[in-house]
Amino acid sequence: PDLTHSWFHQLMEPTVQQVMVESGEESVLLSCRTTQSLDGDVRVEWRDGYNRKVHVYQNGSDQPGEQDQIYRTRTKMDENLLENKDLSLTLIRPTDGDNNFYTCRVYNKDGAKLMLVLCCLSVQQVLVEVKSGVESVKLPCRTTKDLDGDVRVVWRDGIGRKVHVYQNGSDQPEEQNQFYRTRTRMDKNPLKN
């Protein structure tokens, strides 16, 4: 290969970036930009550290059928990514289960790798501090899994008492510890959201 070609240098010395976000954020951006002109014959693959396909773009559009199940409906890229030279990936509803390395790989129409960018995503758990006497406090908890109606959610405190129970589409106050009754609530559509 031509060692002076800028694509080759980008491949041999991949960009590495650290991305940090707090759990509960709506989304996080994994950045991948290029100064090179990209034609419509490129393939862009975002993969995680387990080599699962996070997002695939080819032939001018996203390829959701190639994504791993855990990332479906949770990723998006710039609609004009080739024109804008912006191959960044937005990961929606990140949780600590998304702590991983992610790579953005760009291939030409012949399958040759043109570019490699490495991102290390760290989703931090949120420590919630509150002063005594405030009206309320929200304890964040999100999942990336699709949940159907046959799910049981149990919140417990540090000594094992049931703080809140949700099952069969509704709260179960009779299962709560007496100390927490009438003092807790969850989102009205927790499984959907």
Q: Which residues does residue 32 pair with via DSSP β-bridges, in sequence order?
A: none
List where CATH 2.60.40.10 sits in the chain. 6-124
pLDDT of residue 110: 87
Average pLDDT over residues 181-193: 85
pLDDT of residue 101: 92
Residue 29 vs residue 4, higher pLDDT: 29
Average pLDDT over residues 157-170: 88
pLDDT of residue 1: 37
Average pLDDT over residues 168-192: 89
Instruction: Calculate the average pLDDT of the chain.
Output: 84
Query: Assign residue 186 a region: left if phi > 0, alpha if psi is -120 to 50, beta otherwise?
Result: beta
| pLDDT tier for residue 14 given thresholds of 50, 70 and 90 | low
| pLDDT tier for residue 12 given thresholds of 50, 70 and 90 | very low
CATH architecture of 6-124: Sandwich (2.60)
* Per-residue pLDDT reduced to its tens digit, 58-110: 988 999 999 999 999 999 999 888 888 999 999 998 888 899 999 999 998 88
pLDDT of residue 105: 93
Rg of the chain taking only CA atoms, in angstroms: 22
Contact indicator for 63, 57 with CB cutoff of 8 Å: yes
